[in-house]
Structure 1
Amino acid sequence: MSAFKPAAWPRKLRSQHWFGGTSRDTIYHRGWLKNQGHPHDLFDGRPVIGILNTWSDLTPCNGHLRELAEKVKAGVWEAGGFPVEIPVFSASENTFRPTAMMFRNLAALAVEEAMRGQPIDGAVLLVGCDKTTPSLVMAAASTDLPSIVVTGGPMLNGYFRGERVGSGTHLWKFSEAVKAGEMTQEEFLEAEASMSRSSGTCNTMGTASTMASMVEALGMALSGNAAIPAVDSRRKVMAQLSGRRIVQMVKDDLKPSDIMTKKAFENAIRVNGAIGGSTNAVVHLLAMAGRVGIDLSLDDWDRLGRDIPTVVNLMPSGEYLMEEFFYAGGLPVVIKMLGEAGKLHKDALTVSGGPIWDEVKDVRNWNDDVIRPVERALTQQGGIVVLRGNLAPKGCVLKPSAASPHLMKHRGRAVVFEDIDDYKAKINDESLDIDESCVMVMKNCGPRGYPGMAEVGNMGLPPKVLRKGITDMVRISDARMSGTAYGTVLLHTSPEAARGGPLAIVKNGDFIEIDVDARRVHLDISDEEMQRRLADWRPSVEPPASGYARLFHDHVEGADTGADFDFLKGCRGAPVGRDSH
């Protein structure tokens, strides 16, 4: 098992460079904070804990985090720390345009500098909505200050006319039903009120719940954190216990680099396969690994996920929602199942200070239809599949548990959309030359192309196909898709079209072959034709003139390495720096 050795205590803390002593500079820092009514002995060397809160009125998934922050504070006070709440950049999936993904790196950069430039010894990362989790973990990995994640938790189940309604998943289903003439617009509007009936993130195994599961599997959150519903009183208990724990982590000097090891990432990848997690986890974990300096690649995703059965029966892959997952025992049950199957690094360290196996070895599964035994898994080959070929030399990803088995090996005629606007202009046109055997191709929606790599890869099918009762077709793009979405969708195609990747030169009428078992995606043209088209290619996406959009365009990397900025790789630490007064 892991042999973590806590640092000696007491020792001089980072915050004491601001608050300790009697110099003009320390009196300046300390004195101003005293206008909030803090007594002098709070600055006597006790750990200062930054509660990094992604609450925002425009991030509804995180709308309850101010209440949770108070519970974190209570825990910090109880353990002898000094809590300070810090509002940080909140990249809302619900409201940000062109896409929240464009601002994940900005949020990570802003939070990193907030951690580096302010007098905190450790951090509680209060997260929830999709991009808030990876952005804050990326920042913590970069600074390497002791940190612990507290997730806001999923909302309660939705219900509409007696049917479970999964946030996001049913949005796509109902939208397609309207296009197919199976549901009226009025009924769609009525269903809207049933989708989000409490505080919290999506209640499906979408990206928010996936990333909450990923940080728990990485060891960056207390065991059980991922699945507790947002409005359950036990979510508040988790927040308070995390507040207590971060104080001891600071005393022990237990840092992200101690926890986020290669073993931890391998555990997380396997957990993602078992839960039927979002394809977005690929790009986020690659970025997080890059920040902490771990060599993680798409090949690791395919190698580690290939033989992992998907046992969690949750939408969009299955039947239930996060509420039932919590009642069944939550993520600790899944981690235990992997450990018993020999698919877990049991000695991987967690924020508890001990190995992950100690946290889960005694848990029980309370509902084996929600968390199924391996012999009744949703699919025996879960995980994230990575396909390569002349259409995706650096890879593209597919989620088998959300795809159609009959389309896993397919050859079809390409119907090409040059970008999202071209798709919107054509998809409802009854004269569009398309049927269910075709392969829908969308370009210029990758990190640089959109910009930001929006969740548009799960292109809705044309109405004339939907009216036949067809619900799935092969779709290929350099975009992402929501973790709540489903279908035989190849995503993150790299290099992206906007960089001149082969996706950029696909034409209407070309034939494309996919073979998931063989991990192959192939554009059926000769090598000579491929080279001729690539030589003739010219960019269609103009670089933005200025601002953050220009910074993003110039420095964002490809999806195959995490779509982080090239100048933010590696753990750069949080030096105290020079006093400024």
Structure 2
Amino acid sequence: MTDGKAGDARAKDAKSLRSARWFAPDDLRSFGHRSRAMQMGYAPEEWAGKPVIAILNTWSDAQPCHMHFKSRVEDVKRGILQAGGFPMELPALSLSESFLKPTTMLYRNLLAMDAEELLRGHPVDGVVLMGGCDKTTPALLLGAISAGLPTIYLPAGPMLRGNWKGKVLGSGSDAWKFWDERRAGKISDADWVDVEAGIARSYGTCMTMGTAATMMAMAEALGMALPGASSIPAADANHIRMASECGRRIVDMVWEDLTPARILSREAFLNAITVAMAVGCSTNAIIHLIALARRAGQDIGLDDFERASRTVPVIANIRPSGDTYLMEDFFYAGGLPGLLERIRKYLHLDCLTVTGRTIGDNIKGAEVYNDDVIRSLDDPIYKEGALAVLKGNLAPDGCVIKPSACAPRFLKHTGPALVFDDYPSMKAVIDRDDLDVTEDTVLILRNAGPQGGPGMPEWGMLPIPAKLVKQGVRDMVRISDARMSGTSYGACILHVAPESYIGGPLALVRTGDLIALDVDKRTIDMKVPADELERRRAAWRQPGPRYERGYGWMFTRHIKQADEGCDFDFLETGFGAPVSEPSIY
């Protein structure tokens, strides 16, 4: 294995480059390819015999997390040129959590298909993936895994920490907190505008340990990003240098033929799960990692997360699991390499990474500079339980809770259900003063899963009823087949599988039924006799179709359930024969 320097032990030569099949032959079709490249002002010396590197850029004017990508792509190009490659920027679908309705999860697989086909159809030898906002990371990696070319992931990086009246604000987490304070009448309209202006002060992703930060860390833990890249603040000059290094490194990876298939072993995914637990990850990590593993042909499921949750402590003191710190603090405390060094006994250290070296080699000498931000194993935030997988007659295929981010009293709880069939009906009554609800009530939202949502929206952090908010209540048990933002918190039980829209047991719950959960025992059940459940099932009728045409129609017919990663069935490895490279006539 090389040490990452161009020209060392090349597995390929210029004639074997994939792009050469477009540009090198002395035929009419290749004449067209060369003449069109020259039409753009490029001379043959710029591409001939050099790796052509695709840069999949998810920049758009509707993507605040990626606003710096418009200039950062030039830094990537600079690195590619320095290493003797030829850059080719290809715009890819941009999925903004802030603006896209009904949910970016509906379109994760569309971006995955976009990425795969862009790479398959163009004359490129390797790719730099530019992503970060929640679904862009797993989507780009899904597509690149299926395309099979040498790949390196460039994370957008977290935005700077927020500020309001001297208070440090964390995106998402503090929005939910202060919204409840406003509903309780404790924050004025003027102050609320100031919170809006202060909570997102720069380009970059959410700076809490939400889904964006989690999935960027997972890309690095899998070995698909440069060491330390995942936590560099987007506005830090280190990020610019990292972008250029991605450009230089991918050229070497092409010569080494270092593809995702060589990196993404089962052990690499187990490493990612371990890291997910240690950082207090977003619940969405489960869905995305399972999908990525299945694309890579690896056997990863909920049981792997459950085993890790029992043994790996949470040592990243980052909101929402932690009390104080944000991703900027995490980076300056040593970032992911520092954390990996502290949990090395839980890792498979011989897993290969994009550097051409193992993850064990990458973290040698890594240090932690703030023991309160990245705790030691002897002084964790939580000894176990970043995530927990519950099963029972309410969720026979599993559901998920984040114990590290909910009130301890709800980790074992029994209460009466208050059931909502859809989000609009819940929203219409949740703030009524005459709502029959107490702090012990279990709020249930159904028909919000992969098919029912559609797209499994982030509705799982159901709002606390206004009458309870005014009484000081800030947490209660909430159950749904939806997801929630990784920046969310509370006793929220999510991803109930199978979902209610297709007849999962959640469809049979009625208001007043007793719901019992025990996180320590990993159980969740509705206390309803089996014969009564059978009567309800016989009377159940599936809701109407969500789409009758277009992408949505395809989505609802081919989307897998949450416990299977929510990929399309026809995209998973093993569905059919691998797609060959397009013919070049």
Q: Same fold (TM over 0.5)?
A: yes
2:61 pairs with 43, 57, 65, which one?
Answer: 57
Q: Which runs of 5+ in 2 are unaligned?
A: none
Letter in 1 for 2:487: T
Q: Which runs of structure 2 are paired with 1:80-479 in the superposition (5 Å)?
A: 80-318=84-322, 319-339=324-344, 342-479=345-482
Counterpart CA distance in 1 for 2:126 and 2:461 is 40
Query: Retained in 2: the 8 A contact 1:223–1:332?
Result: yes
Counterpart CA distance in 1 for 2:348 and 2:412 is 33
1:77 pairs with 75, 81, 87, which one?
Answer: 81
Give the corresponding residue for 2:516.
513
> How many pairs were matched up?
578
Give the corresponding residue for 2:35.
31
Counterpart CA distance in 1 for 2:199 and 2:100 is 20
Once the two structures are superposed, what CA deviation does each residue of 1:252-290 show, in whole Å capped at 9, x if it has no partner?
110111111110100000101110110011111111111
5-14 vs 176-185, greater mean Cα deviation: 5-14
Give the corresponding residue for 1:545.
548
Counterpart CA distance in 2 for 1:555 and 1:6 is 41
Give the corresponding residue for 1:497.
500
Once the two structures are superposed, what CA deviation does each residue of 1:288-345 show, in whole Å capped at 9, x if it has no partner?
1111111111111111222111111111111111110110010111111111xx2000
369-378 vs 161-170, greater mean Cα deviation: 369-378
Q: SS at 2:495's partner residue?
A: strand
Letter in 1 for 2:283: T
Once the two structures are superposed, what CA deviation does each residue of 1:547-580 show, in whole Å capped at 9, x if it has no partner?
1111111111101101111100018766332124
Give the deviation of 1:22 after TM superposition: 1.8
Counterpart CA distance in 1 for 2:162 and 2:14 is 50
Q: Which runs of 5+ in 1 are unaligned?
A: none
Give the corresponding residue for 2:538.
535
Q: SS at 1:436's partner residue?
A: coil
Give the deviation of 1:538 after TM superposition: 0.5
Query: Retained in 1: the 8 A contact 2:80–2:247?
Result: yes
2:582 pairs with 563, 577, 581, which one?
Answer: 577
Query: Retained in 2: the 8 A contact 1:412–1:439?
Result: yes
486-495 vs 396-405, greater mean Cα deviation: 396-405
Query: Retained in 2: the 8 A contact 1:30–1:43?
Result: no
Query: Retained in 1: the 8 A contact 2:14–2:20?
Result: no
377-386 vs 115-124, greater mean Cα deviation: 377-386
Give the deviation of 1:543 after TM superposition: 3.9
Counterpart CA distance in 2 for 1:49 and 1:386 is 41
Q: SS at 1:411's partner residue?
A: strand
Once the two structures are superposed, what CA deviation does each residue of 1:441-474 show, in whole Å capped at 9, x if it has no partner?
0001101011000001001101111122111101
Query: Retained in 1: the 8 A contact 2:452–2:546?
Result: no
Counterpart CA distance in 2 for 1:487 and 1:527 is 30
Counterpart CA distance in 2 for 1:407 and 1:68 is 45
Letter in 2 for 1:502: P
Letter in 1 for 2:164: F
Query: Retained in 2: the 8 A contact 1:215–1:221?
Result: yes
Query: Retained in 1: the 8 A contact 2:3–2:356?
Result: no
Counterpart CA distance in 1 for 2:188 and 2:516 is 37
Query: Retained in 1: the 8 A contact 2:120–2:582?
Result: no
Query: Retained in 2: the 8 A contact 1:2–1:348?
Result: no
Once the two structures are superposed, what CA deviation does each residue of 1:73-93 show, in whole Å capped at 9, x if it has no partner?
111111110011110111111
Counterpart CA distance in 2 for 1:206 and 1:6 is 39
The alpha-carbon distance between structure 1 residues 370 and 508, as it changes in their structure 2 partners (threshold 3 A), is same
Letter in 2 for 1:107: L
TM-score by length of 2: 0.97
Letter in 2 for 1:396: C
Give the deviation of 1:11 after TM superposition: 4.6
Query: Retained in 2: the 8 A contact 1:381–1:400?
Result: no
The alpha-carbon distance between structure 1 residues 15 and 52, as it changes in their structure 2 partners (threshold 3 A), is same
Letter in 2 for 1:328: A
Counterpart CA distance in 2 for 1:520 and 1:2 is 48
The alpha-carbon distance between structure 1 residues 11 and 347, as it changes in their structure 2 partners (threshold 3 A), is farther
Percent identity between the aligned chains?
47
Counterpart CA distance in 2 for 1:420 and 1:541 is 16
Counterpart CA distance in 2 for 1:575 and 1:495 is 35
The alpha-carbon distance between structure 1 residues 76 and 208, as it changes in their structure 2 partners (threshold 3 A), is same
Give the deviation of 1:184 after TM superposition: 2.1
Counterpart CA distance in 1 for 2:581 and 2:512 is 60
